[in-house]
């Protein structure tokens, strides 16, 4: 039996547990708890119950849980159980009969006036002593290899809200059910979203089915459409068009959308909204997204059973002040049945630390996925924001980004200059470090990490694939050296046209002029060609980068780089792009990446993510 990490020095308002592994390397706060036998979470809290247990579960096939519930009943704890009729009378009869024979009352969703109910009693929650709520996607009949989560929330106000839902189905507030008053499915009364504060964190509770006003659907749709930076789905089933349409509003505003689905439900029918998000017109028709979102299916043995949505999980740098990340989890799939037929619940929690826990679980599942982008880790922004003309790119340093563009030119060994596909608007370009060179005009789909060290911004892809060819884009012509060394041009593919060599030095440095202004040029790294002679006319193609107040010009399709100075360089020492330095958490200069996986700290304490290829 795999253990559970218990906080002993302080009580966390939320404690999340995951059945499969988590990727702690992307953690911004506390490392998440993965590879947990989730039944032990239930066993732990059942053993701690002192007065009452309200247990609402789809099914059970764990004898140790049955025995624990019977032991709680025998020591005087009031135990009440609501389950699904199919489990009670068919698939899990032995387990529920054992509970009944021990004197524990059990009720299902087709008792009394609910006999024609066609939905599932799909809740998975437990209320302990009116003070603790255990929820999530985990059925006590789930296979150990399935991807599930359990969330423990310790709050009496939230427990009271869940108890109200339980007693609608129970039909009474007493120890025995009232089967005539019990209400399930569409017979339940209208219940708007409920809000409660849990140690200062807003928590919204939604109980389904939403049979009359669509208020719950509108609430969730508005939350998704209003995201600032990113929305990540980790879903077993996703088939309600209203939610896909709300995500489209965010997508059209530039919000990153990723969706990871269970492989069995991914393309099971045309009802799957995966077709819509990934831009496939086979079933989605005119509703198909263009460009598509980042969509993939899981690739592990078992079911991806989560019902998770993450909102603004990556809030570094570009998110408006005061924005808090949020996680949606619970029993309900974002489907028609999960919204309008089944007894379900979802909780939306605005808490950075908890959302980060679920992000670690999602990152691990993305790394296992089979469909492109196979190595996508959540948190990608739009790479076009890296080098907007008249804009500073430093706000995205350390962030993961996605990009669809065209190769403008090579820029030294392992580097490419990229331009966006829309060549009619404002010119945009980025400098990308790639594992191999590609011909000009190649269309690229890639995602990776933005790196900024010593004022130099470089984009390092984690995955990259090509999609055809276009005519090579044309560089931006710069005819005046007086405007060259400016943030406007950093990372942009430019042509320095008709520059004349005015002076030359034995060490290889030379001076160029446009007739009114001049700059000194020093060759850096491998010498791509001999120093030019005085009077020679040059056209230089490349991109600018700034490091320690020295401007470097990456030479396109030449394999080298030059440094440009307004005054003669003091020496011709050989420099390389890796000649920068790192800072440890105390602000001390070091010559190698720190050994803490996942982050490093720069002066001022700003947190940066370390791309995987730089891990020592």
Which residue would you say has higher pLDDT here, 400 or 375? 400
Q: 170 and 47 share a domain?
A: yes
- Of 354, 378, 402, which residue is a domain's last? 378
What pLDDT is recorded for position 390? 34
What pLDDT is recorded for position 208? 95
Which residue would you say has higher pLDDT here, 8 or 468? 468
Is 387 a residue whose pLDDT tops 90? no
What pLDDT is recorded for position 293? 79
Is 5 a residue whose pLDDT tops 50? no
* Interior angle at CA 111, CA 105 and CA 116, nearest 5: 155
What pLDDT is recorded for position 235? 96
Which residue would you say has higher pLDDT here, 75 or 495? 75
Which residue carries 């990229």 as its tokens?
418
For 255-297, what is each residue's pLDDT tens digit? 778 899 999 888 788 889 999 998 889 899 999 987 777 788 8
Is 254 a residue whose pLDDT tops 90? no
Instruction: Give dist(CA 515, CA 496) in Å, integer.
Output: 13
What pLDDT is recorded for position 524? 60
Is 171 a residue whose pLDDT tops 50? yes
Instruction: Give dist(CA 220, CA 463) in Å, integer.
Output: 32
What pLDDT is recorded for position 426? 45
| pLDDT bucket at 319, cuts 50 / 70 / 90 | very low
What pLDDT is recorded for position 86? 94
- List the single range of 14-23, 377-386, 457-466, 515-524 with lowest mean pLDDT: 377-386
- Of 320, 354, 378, which residue is a domain's last? 378
What pLDDT is recorded for position 577? 35
- List the single range of 224-233, 345-354, 362-371 with lowest mean pLDDT: 362-371
What pLDDT is recorded for position 608? 31
What pLDDT is recorded for position 126? 98
Which residue would you say has higher pLDDT here, 386 or 497? 497
What is the arithmetic mean of pLDDT over 241-255? 87
Is 26 a residue whose pLDDT tops 90? no
Residue 127 in any domain: the answer is yes
For 66-112, what is each residue's pLDDT tens digit? 999 999 999 999 999 999 999 999 999 999 999 999 999 999 999 99
| pLDDT bucket at 165, cuts 50 / 70 / 90 | very high
Q: Please count the structural domains in the chain.
A: 4
Residue 113 in any domain: the answer is yes
Q: 239 and 312 share a domain?
A: yes
Residue 5 in any domain: the answer is no
Is 328 a residue whose pLDDT tops 50? yes
Is 394 a residue whose pLDDT tops 80? no
For 546-603, what is each residue's pLDDT tens digit? 655 556 677 776 556 666 666 666 544 433 333 333 333 333 344 444 332 222 323 2
Q: Which CATH number covers residue 436?
A: 2.40.50.140
Please list the residues that pair with 60 across neighbouring strands. Answer: 140
| pLDDT bucket at 48, cuts 50 / 70 / 90 | very high
- List the single range of 74-78, 312-316, 446-450, 472-476 with lowest mean pLDDT: 446-450
Is 488 a residue whose pLDDT tops 70? no
Q: 212 and 337 share a domain?
A: yes
Instruction: Give dist(CA 603, CA 62) in Å, integer.
Output: 53
What pLDDT is recorded for position 2? 33
Residue burial 379-398, b: 16+ Cβ < 10 Å; e: rest:
bbbbbbbbbbeeeebebbbb
What pLDDT is recorded for position 445? 64
Q: 323 and 447 share a domain?
A: no
Q: What predicted TM-score, i.e. pTM, was given to this entire model?
A: 0.66
Query: What's the mean pLDDT when you consider all of the chain?
Result: 78
Which residue would you say has higher pLDDT here, 207 or 601? 207
Q: 331 and 422 share a domain?
A: no
Instruction: Give dist(CA 216, CA 205) in Å, integer.
Output: 10
- DSSP codes, 419-452: EES--SSS-BEEEEE-SS---TTEEEEEEEEEEE
What pLDDT is recorded for position 32? 93
Considering Cα of 373, then 377, then 379, then 385, what sign does the dihedral take? Answer: negative
Q: 362 and 419 share a domain?
A: no
What pLDDT is recorded for position 34? 97
Residue 176 in any domain: the answer is yes
What pLDDT is recorded for position 580? 37
Q: 27 and 99 share a domain?
A: yes
What pLDDT is recorded for position 555? 74
What pLDDT is recorded for position 177? 97
Instruction: Give dist(CA 434, CA 531) in Å, integer.
Output: 28
Rounded to 5 degrees, φ, ψ at 63 are -65, -30
Q: 208 and 285 share a domain?
A: yes
- Of 344, 378, 412, which residue is a domain's last? 378
What pLDDT is recorded for position 385? 44
What pLDDT is recorded for position 550? 59
54 burial type by CB count under 10 A (0-12 exposed, 13-18 middle, 19+ buried): buried
Tokens of 50: 């002192």
What is the arithmetic mean of pLDDT over 604-610? 30
Displacement of CA 447 from its chain's centroid (Å): 13
Instruction: Give dist(CA 585, CA 603) in Å, integer.
Output: 9
Q: 21 and 119 share a domain?
A: yes
Is 40 a residue whose pLDDT tops 90? yes
Instruction: Give dist(CA 167, CA 409) in Å, integer.
Output: 67
What pLDDT is recorded for position 23? 82
Residue 4 in any domain: the answer is no
Is 487 a residue whose pLDDT tops 70? no
Residue 286 in any domain: the answer is yes
What is the arithmetic mean of pLDDT over 108-137? 96
What pLDDT is recorded for position 167? 98
What pLDDT is recorded for position 141? 92
- Residue span of the structural domain in which 530 resides: 481-565
Q: 457 and 561 share a domain?
A: no
Q: 219 and 262 share a domain?
A: yes
Residue 576 in any domain: the answer is no
What pLDDT is recorded for position 508? 73
Residue 8 in any domain: the answer is no
Instruction: Name, of 136-145, 269-278, 406-415, 603-612, the range with top average pLDDT.
Output: 136-145
Instruction: Give dist(CA 166, CA 96) in Å, integer.
Output: 18
Q: Which CATH number covers residue 240?
A: 3.30.870.10
What pLDDT is recorded for position 353? 87
Q: 99 and 241 share a domain?
A: yes
């Amino acid at each position: 039996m795999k253990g559970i990490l218990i906080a002993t020095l302080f009580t966390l308002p939320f404690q999340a547990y995951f059945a499969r592994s988590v990727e702690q390397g992307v953690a911004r706060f506390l490392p998440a708890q993965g590879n947990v036998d989730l039944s032990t979470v239930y066993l732990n809290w059942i053993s701690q119950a002192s007065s009452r247990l309200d247990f609402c579960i789809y099914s059970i096939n764990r004898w140790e849980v049955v025995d624990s519930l019977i032991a709680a009943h025998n020591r005087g704890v009031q135990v009440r159980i609501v389950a699904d009729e199919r489990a009670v009378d068919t698939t899990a009869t032995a387990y529920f009969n054992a509970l009944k024979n021990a004197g524990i009352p059990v009720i299902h969703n087709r008792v009394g006036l609910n006999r024609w109910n066609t939905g599932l009693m799909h809740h998975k929650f437990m209320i302990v002593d009116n003070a603790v709520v255990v929820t999530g996607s985990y059925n006590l009949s789930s296979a150990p290899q399935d991807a599930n989560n359990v969330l423990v929330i310790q709050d009496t106000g939230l427990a009271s809200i869940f108890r109200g839902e339980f007693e609608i189905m129970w039909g009474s507030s007493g120890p025995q059910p009232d089967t005539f008053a019990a209400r399930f499915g569409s017979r339940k009364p209208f219940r708007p979203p409920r809000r409660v504060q849990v140690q200062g964190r807003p928590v919204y509770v939604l109980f389904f089915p939403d049979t009359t006003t669509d208020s719950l659907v509108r609430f969730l749709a508005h939350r998704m459409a209003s995201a600032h930076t990113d929305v990540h789905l980790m879903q077993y089933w996703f088939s309600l068009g209203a939610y896909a349409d709300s995500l489209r509003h965010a997508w059209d505003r530039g919000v990153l959308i990723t969706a990871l689905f269970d492989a069995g439900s991914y393309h099971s029918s045309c009802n799957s909204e995966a077709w819509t998000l990934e831009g496939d017109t086979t079933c989605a028709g005119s509703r198909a997204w263009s460009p598509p979102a980042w969509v993939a299916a899981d690739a592990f043995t078992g079911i991806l059973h989560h019902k998770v949505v993450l909102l603004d999980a990556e809030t570094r740098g570009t998110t408006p002040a005061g924005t808090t990340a949020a996680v949606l989890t619970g029993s309900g799939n974002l489907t028609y049945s999960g919204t309008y037929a089944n007894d379900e619940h979802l909780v939306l929690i605005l808490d950075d630390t908890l959302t980060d826990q679920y992000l670690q679980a999602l990152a691990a599942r993305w790394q296992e996925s089979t469909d492109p982008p196979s190595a996508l880790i959540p948190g990608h922004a739009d790479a076009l924001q890296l080098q907007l003309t008249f804009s500073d790119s430093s706000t995205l340093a350390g962030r993961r980004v996605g990009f669809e563009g065209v190769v403008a030119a090579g820029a030294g060994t392992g580097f490419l200059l990229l331009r966006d596909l829309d060549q009619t608007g404002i010119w945009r370009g980025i400098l990308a470090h790639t594992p191999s060179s590609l011909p000009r005009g190649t269309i690229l789909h890639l995602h990776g990490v933005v790196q900024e060290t010593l004022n130099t911004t470089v984009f390092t892809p984690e995955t990259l694939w090509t999609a055809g060819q276009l005519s090579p884009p044309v560089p931006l012509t710069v005819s005046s050296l007086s405007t060259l060394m400016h943030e406007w041009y950093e990372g942009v593919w430019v042509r320095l046209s008709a520059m004349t060599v005015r002076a030359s030095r034995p060490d290889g440095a030379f001076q160029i002029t446009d007739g009114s202004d001049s700059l000194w040029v020093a060759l850096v790294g491998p010498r791509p060609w001999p120093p030019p002679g005085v009077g020679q006319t040059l056209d230089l193609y490349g991109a600018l980068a700034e490091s320690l107040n020295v401007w470097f010009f990456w030479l396109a399709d030449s394999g080298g780089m030059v440094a440009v100075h307004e005054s003669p360089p003091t020496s011709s020492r050989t420099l390389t792009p890796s000649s920068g330095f790192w800072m440890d958490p105390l602000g001390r200069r070091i010559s190698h990446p720190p050994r803490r996986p996942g982050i490093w700290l720069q002066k001022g304490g700003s947190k940066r993510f370390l791309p995987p290829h730089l891990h020592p």
